[in-house]
Structures are given as structure tokens and as C-alpha cells.
Amino acid sequence: MRHNRFTVSLMVILLLCLTTTSAWATTTTPTAVPPTVTATPANEVIYTVRSGDTLFRIATRFGVTVRQIAEANGITNPALIVTGQQLRIPGVAAATATPVPPTATITVTPIPIATTDYTVQVGDTLFKIAIRFRTTVRQLAQLNNLTNPNLIYVGQRLQVPAEGGATPTAVSSTPLPTSTALPTSSPQPTTAPSTTNAGQGGTTTAGYGFDFGIEAFLVDQDVTALVGDIQTLGMRWVKQTINWRDFEPIQGEIDFATLDGIIDSLNGANLKILLTLTAAPDWARSSAQENGPPDDFATFTTFVSAVTARYAGRVQAYQIWNEPNLRREWNSEVHDISAASYTELLTVAYTAVKSADSAALVLSAGLAPTGYNDGVNAIDDRQFLRDMYANGLAAASDAIGAHPLGWANPPDAECCVPPPGVLTHFENPSFYFRNTLSDYRQIMTDSGDGSTPIWVTKFGWGSSEDTDPPSETYIFVSYTDLVEQAAYVPRAFQLGTELGFIGPMFLDNLNGCDIDGAENCYNSLLGPGDQPRPVFAAVRDLITPTAEIAPQPGASGDVTVEAPPASDIQPGAGAEATHEATPGS
């Protein structure tokens, strides 16, 4: 079954590479131009797909299901639809042919910014230009009055945000309050960031906007080779999880030698660093089961202070703990599994970091989006986040960590229609990348913390296609093949630029097949035997596209838009479809 899905996916991609006007779907609100809908004599209508559509959004608009449209049109992969494609919408009478407008609306508030000229190069897309200048496709289209962001050509002069310019256009979408301006991607600071904590009456005035990051397992590995892979990908951030128990197995004896080598290598490659500090050593806790916090939080602050002081100015951000809403990460005989207990730890750690390095940012822990809430084994991440705010989260963090895992659901999908072949892990919003980010944003806004960004400190899609079959616990990785994995990850990065409130995003992971635990291998960009999976090239090509030589604009005056190469094809990709620039006038 998995190989059949691979073959179908590959055939679709090859066909689309020959198409000259393909445009991939997105979940942004359609423009004001009315869609083409034709009533037919039967109890159905014919709908013409336009840029901005997804099958899920079309189904919602007409009050039918994705499965009904897919079956009516012989669609084997609902993630792949093309602008101009005509779809039969079953079960819709001619009298109701006009689609119901989507419930989400977009409010755009222009903000004057400083701009500079940029000349479109061969191989450019509007999305790639947006990434290069730390902005969004939407803003570039507005700055240049582009009615069709798909059409750009080599030699075209575009206005782009100047380095150090004001924050780009603020965008908010319901269910978020339209009065709340969502901070979009901003230029990277050239000096250490200075922040005013939003919970203390201010807003985050500096720091880091959207950027590309990855988690790498560097302890006891060939750090030089892995750093080379990270640079090949074009990543600018690296997340390293520091299990306290491994670095201070004896109280007062911290293994800085291992950590020094890792930090030196990352600094030497000009990579920014996020350290996640978690998992107390046995000497600090009564419980010997699973992972958990120390009995005395002061022992943790001693460790945090020592690490931060040693790497002041060399490590840009610290995340305090990992998934404390799970018993296996917060098993303690002293501290119950609760937002109150965790926020107490976060607060003392925040003070320790700022005392040792005031420029370093402090992130709250990424929570596990489990959809489970028994108060013993797990607490629902949405409720846990609300309770953290009730216990002072805003005053103890510079950014909110998030783990918006997608299981086998595409990044644009929303609860709770299962994609074909997905048999489990689709019934709850926690299983959806986009739902998790939207829900977190709503909770933050409701808590008066709307100016604080979300850092995606863990995301990705796993596949077991080239490795051992998963256990029942990880059965969802068997639903995703390697081609789909290579499509979903770039699209998730694109969504990060579109949403406007996302900071750096850290992909899980680079080299999980090299360490213990099969679950780490499923998500790894380097597969068994360190062989790059298709997702490796897809991410590399997204971040560091290679321009191909093409002739200069000809005398015909025609504008030609070619389909993107296979590495650029993503189901549901782009805030606007982003074709490569080709010669034209």
C-alpha cells in the first residue's frame, strides 16, 4: 500500500512539473475575486479551483466533505489540486451554487516601512525573495501592487524591506481579534537582542523573527560532519537538548568539556543556538522513574546559572524543560504535574538566565499536544498553557515554545477530516500542525500576551518507509511516505512565514537514526546509514535555492510562468503560489 502511494505521488509530481500554470493550495482566505461556479443539471455544481484554495476549504465552503469531492473527481491525493482545475461538487443544488464565504476573514493593516530595490534573478520566486528579506509574500505583493504574485520575471525590479526597516504588514485572522496586530518576520538583529518582557507591561521590542532551525543530536557524534550538513541545508539555528542528568551526574561536577566542543563548533559555523535544559539527575530527585524535575528547584537554578554564565554572548536562547505536561517528563514525588509547578520552575530559571546573560532569551517549554487530560499521565496542552498564564507565564518568558506536531496530517489540514490512508490520530485538534498554532495564538491573545512570538521548537513528519515498521504507539508514521514527508516539511516552514507570529522554527531532526530510539529515526532527514532522505533536498532547496542559467527577457514581451521543480512542490504550498521567475518583460 505504501509503495502504491509513493508511485501515485511521484506520477503526480512529474505531471505537475510539465504544467505551465500550476498553483498549489493554501489555507489563506480567498481574495475578493469571486470564484467560478457553474451549475449543472444534476444535483451538483462545477467549481474552478483558484489560487488560495485547498480541498478542505472548498469542501467547507460548500458544506460537503473532502472525501466526497475526492471520490467525485477521482482524486487520489487531496493535498494536490491545481489552479484552473474543474471540480465536481456533489450534493449541491443549482440554487445553492454560490459558495458560502469562509468563516475566517483577513484584516490587513498597512505599516509604513523603509524599502530598497531588488532585481529578480533566475530561479527566484516571491516566496524565496520574502525569506531572503525576512518578510512575507503578502507584504511583497502589497509593496509592489502585484495582483498576481505568481507572475514575476527575471530583471523585474521589486521594492523589498530595507535592512532595519519597520515591522512588515501586520496580519490577523479570525478567530483572533482583528484589533490585534500579529508581529511578522523582522530582520535579524546585528547585535545581541534586547527585550522588554511583554508580561511586565511592555512588548517584545527586539529579538529574532522567523528563521530556519533544526535539532541535531551532537553528543558523542561527528560534530564536524553534522555541522557541515546543517550548513548545506542553509539552517541558521540549531537546537541542542541538554539533559541535565547527563552533564552533571555528580553534584557540582558539570561536564563542560563535551558542551564546549559543541558550542565552539556551532559558533565557528556562525550558527545561532537554542539550548533546551531538562531532565534532572538522580541525585536531585527522590523519584527514580522516568524524567522529572529536581525536588529543590534551587539546584536547577545553580545549573542554569553555571551554563548561562559560561556561554554568555555565545548561546542566544534557552528553553526551560521539555513537555512538562507529560508524566514521563515531570515524574516527581514532590511536585505534582501541573502548570503551577512548572511555571514556578520557569520563573526561577528565567531569573537565573537573565542574571548571567541579560541578552539571552528565555523560552517556555514546548508542550506535548496529546489531546489527553487525565491529570496523572498527561494534561491537555491547551489547558496547561492557559493555566501557565494564570500562574505568571508572561512575566517569565520572552517567547512561547510550541511543539505543533502533525502526526500524518498535512500542515494545512484542520481537524477533523482524515486524509486518505490516515486511520488514526486525526480525531482531535492536537493532531494538527495548524490547529495547534492557531489555538496557542488565541490563548496568548486572550491572556493579554499577543505581542509575544511563538517559537516552534519541535515539528516534523515521520515516515517508516525505509526503516523498521513502527510499534502501535507510532503507527501514524506508516501512513506517511518519504515523498509526502518531503512535501509537508517545506510547507510547514512556509506557513511559519505566513502566520506572522512565528519566530525561529526547529525541525525535528537531522540525525535521529544515529541515536537510540526508533521514534527519532522516523523524523530524521538523514535516514538509515546516514543516507539523505528526499526531505533533506526539499528543505535545502527551499532555504538555499540554486539559480539556473536562463536567457534574458526576449523581444516578444510575453511573460512565461513555469511550474516549479519537483523539489519546490508541496501539497498546499504557499500563501500565494510561488513559481520561479523566467524570462519575460
Q: What was the pLDDT predicted at 35?
A: 52
Distance CA 337, CA 287 (A): 13
Which amino acid is it at 172? Answer: S
pLDDT score, position 124: 75
Domains 1-22+104-184+561-585 and 30-96 share a fold: yes
What single letter denotes the amino acid at residue 208?
A: Y
Q: Where residue 393 falls among pLDDT bands split at 50, 70, 90? A: very high
Topology (CATH level 3) of domain 30-96: Membrane-bound Lytic Murein Transglycosylase D; Chain A (3.10.350)
CA nearest to 504, candidates 182, 236, 107, 241: 236
Q: Provide the mean pLDDT of the chain.
A: 78
C-alpha cell at 338: 501541573
- Say if residue 577's pLDDT is above 60: no
CA pseudo-torsion sign 342, 345, 351, 355: negative
pLDDT higher at 104 or 361: 361
Q: Is the pLDDT of residue 562 over 50?
A: no
CATH architecture of 207-543: Alpha-Beta Barrel (3.20)
- Average pLDDT score over residue span 218-243: 97
Residue 260 parent element (H or E): helix 256-268
Residue 181: pLDDT above 70? no
| Sequence-ordered alpha helix ranges (H) in 275-373 | 297-310, 339-356
Structural element, H or E, at residue 36: strand 36-39
Percent of the chain with pLDDT over 90: 54
> What secondary structure letter does DSSP report for 330?
S
Write down the CATH number for the domain with range 1-22+104-184+561-585: 3.10.350.10
Single pTM value for the model? 0.66
**Residue with more model confidence, 30 or 379:** 379
**pLDDT higher than threshold 80 for residue 507:** yes
Supply the pLDDT for residue 151. 73
Q: What are the residue ranges spanned by the domains of the chain?
A: 1-22+104-184+561-585, 30-96, 207-543
For residues 1-14, average pLDDT: 44
Q: What is the pLDDT of residues 361-379, one digit of tens each?
A: 999 999 999 888 999 999 9
User: Where residue 78 falls among pLDDT bands split at 50, 70, 90?
Assistant: low
Q: Is 486 helix (H, G, I), strand (E, B) or coil?
A: helix
The residue assigned the cell 493535498 is: 79
- Residue 574 CB partners (closer than 8 Å, separation 6+): 23, 24, 26, 127, 137, 494
